[in-house]
Amino acid sequence: MDLRTPAPDARIIHRLYKQNSKAESVLLTNSHATKTRILSSARKLFAKAQPDDIVVFFFSGHGFQGGLATYGDYLFYTDLREVFAACKARNKMIFVNACHSGDMREKNSTGISDPDSNIMLFLSSRPDEYSWEQSNMRNSWFTASLARALKGGADFNRDRTISARELFVAVSDMVVELSDGEQHPVMWGNFKDTMPVMVW
């Protein structure tokens, strides 16, 4: 089934990071979003990261148990785990907008993380839920809420730093309201509530 919002989702998140003078980002959509290009771009960008940097991987599209659907191929969670393991940054996060994306937190060989990992997972839905989009939507509910929160909507204490806790509360509340309780974002990993997600 075709999805309407993955490319617009990627673009809005890319534009958001381009507006932050401290950030560097790479955008891959449609036929450019192959497994090879995604992994190559991630390795090159993540290799520049220093320990205090924030490293983010964002994906919107189809998911399945054990991975994500790229253009003409599949990106397995084990592939992402290897890329992140080589990154020096202490603040690592993965944002995924895909049906059943909550599977990424499983503590087995198919999962991306484990309790000892320093990767924060912010996933658009629980394992048994869909991540919704509609024909009249420019962006999916999760991505629209994520973008709004990262722009400052989640900066509840106005310190120009959005923490993991602030992000989860803001996005979760918005998505649950938009979906009438049918979609619940999931945040998981071994990190502090105060972990910085975006610094303006």
pLDDT tens-digit map of 121-145: 999 999 888 888 877 889 999 999 9
pLDDT tens-digit map of 25-75: 999 999 999 999 999 999 999 999 999 999 999 999 998 888 899 999 999
Q: Distance between CA 200 and CA 152 in Å, rounded?
A: 9
β-pairing verdict for 91-97 and 73-76: unpaired
- Examine the pLDDT at 109 and tell me if it is beyond 50: no
Q: Where are the alpha helices (DSSP H) in 2-107?
A: 6-18, 35-46, 77-85
For the residues 3-19, what does the mean pLDDT come to? 95
Residue 118: exposure state from Cβ atoms within 10 A (0-12, 13-18, ≥19): middle
Write down all domains in the chain, each with its CATH number in brackets: 6-199 (3.40.50.1460)
pLDDT tens-digit map of 151-187: 999 999 999 999 999 999 999 999 999 999 999 999 9
Three-state DSSP class for 147? helix
